[in-house]
Structure 1
């Protein structure tokens, strides 16, 4: 059976169109992740195979696992993904967590990130890793270290919902 002449003309055009559609869908899906362009060099999402090793800074005594590290134009950008809807501005605790990852990147790779990204379900915030934010993280790390040395930490809030989600709820004598 011979195929019509026009079939051999339309087949390559259809394949090119299909390839273009797949490239467009791929770009659209990447845009939906909220991640910047660049190469993912670290992922702690559980979907990429074996779990990522934590980053560690011996000087600070700090360990952490950012959700992603993206290398772009010679810089490394930590990305922390939150499953909740975005607040009007990032929560202070989320900014401190992201800044701690910036410190870990600086210690581990020897490159200071100029910023990190907080990705909420519907919005991404760019958080500048300023000297002031770095100092704030260092103060919190030191405060935690002092609390550990005292072997006693007091509850620092009056929010029952926060207590309900706490990993120490079962052994805490100050829970709400």
Structure 2
């Protein structure tokens, strides 16, 4: 009996270690629209309702939300028109947009999405809904709200590598390539 208890303990520890060490972002080298074992329940089409998360003071319209058949989980899918180079990772702004949809879906539907998908023209990325990503986004939102409340102008320190794919470029930021 003690041997069975040891086996179960080792199995649980191995499972917990695997869950903690698995990558936050996984990549497939093909465009993959859809979620296996799920049906679309929301699409950003004409007349689609804006999803509002009062808890986080966020709103948005993900391209798609899928509901899995078995566990009734919600999976957001965001389609990007651009192509990425073979060794290129998803743009940070796109990741945070997906994380914002995680927060919105959790607030609107009452269930935390386990992951979401970023679909580029030539690659698909599966992004896990981790505490670290959520914490980072909440920090960014706090900074953005603080910047909106400040009367003084924000100092910009442009750097090509940081600014190259920034979503603020040519919008709220004065820096131009």
Distance 1:164 1:65, change over 3 A: closer
2:64 to 63, 68, 78: 68
Measured in 1, the distance between the counterparts of 2:74 and 2:123 equals 21
- Give the Å deviation of 1:122: 1.2
Aligned to 1:8: none
Q: Which has the larger radius of gyration?
A: 1
Q: TM-score w.r.t. structure 2 length?
A: 0.67
Compare 130-139 and 32-41 and name the one that shifted more.
Answer: 32-41
- Give the Å deviation of 1:146: 0.4
Measured in 2, the distance between the counterparts of 1:155 and 1:53 equals 36
5 Å-filtered alignment, 1:50-65, equals 50-65=46-61
Aligned to 1:12: none
5 Å-filtered alignment, 1:69-88, equals 69-73=65-69, 74-87=72-85, 88=88
Which blocks of at least 5 consecutive residues in structure 1 are unaligned?
A: 1-30
Aligned to 1:15: none
8 Å CA contact 1:163, 1:175 repeated in 2: no
- Give the Å deviation of 1:111: 0.4
5 Å-filtered alignment, 1:1-176, equals 34-37=33-36, 38-44=38-44, 46=45, 50-73=46-69, 74-87=72-85, 88-151=88-151, 152-155=153-156, 157-158=158-159, 166-168=170-172, 174-176=174-176
Measured in 2, the distance between the counterparts of 1:80 and 1:51 equals 18
- Give the Å deviation of 1:137: 0.7
- Give the Å deviation of 1:164: 10
Residues paired across the two proteins, number: 138
What is the SS of the residue equivalent to 1:42?
Answer: strand
Compare 145-154 and 63-72 and name the one that shifted more.
Answer: 145-154
8 Å CA contact 2:78, 2:117 repeated in 1: yes
- Give the Å deviation of 1:163: 9.1
Q: TM-score w.r.t. structure 1 length?
A: 0.68
Instruction: Specify which structure has the higher proportion of helix.
Output: 1
8 Å CA contact 2:169, 2:175 repeated in 1: no
